[in-house]
Amino acid sequence: MQSAKEAAILRILGTTKRRSRCILAIEQTGLCIIGLAVAAVCLIIYDAGLFVRGADTLILCGGLYVLSCVLAASTTAALATRRKVLEMLQVKE
């Protein structure tokens, strides 16, 4: 719901649907990548040997995680921006 309101505000400010979708998707994807980086740094701090031994598995799992985050963020951004601007701003209680 919050994404739909943000998308509506972006549209009112003059951005295109495509640009609004990109902004919403990049925001979520960036959070995903930052989370992975923090987790990797914490694992290195905890046990660097464990990080080195499991690097291939971590890269595979991290890649799948990023891919799923990108797909989910793109889908939700498309769903949030497909309605009309005034419809997105209406509060449903």
87 falls within a domain: no
Quickly list H helices, 47-81: 48-53, 55-81
* pLDDT tens readout for residues 43-64: 889 888 888 888 888 889 888 9
What is the largest distance, in Å, between two alpha-carbon atoms of the chain? 55
pTM across the whole model? 0.67
What's the number of domains the chain is made of? Answer: 1
Domain coverage including residue 7: 2-80
28 falls within a domain: yes
Q: What is the CA radius of gyration of the chain?
A: 18
Contact in structure between 28 and 69 (CB atoms under 8 Å): yes
60 falls within a domain: yes
Q: Residue 59 has what pLDDT?
A: 87
Contact in structure between 23 and 81 (CB atoms under 8 Å): no
Measure the CA–CA gap between 10 and 67, rounded to whole angstroms: 26
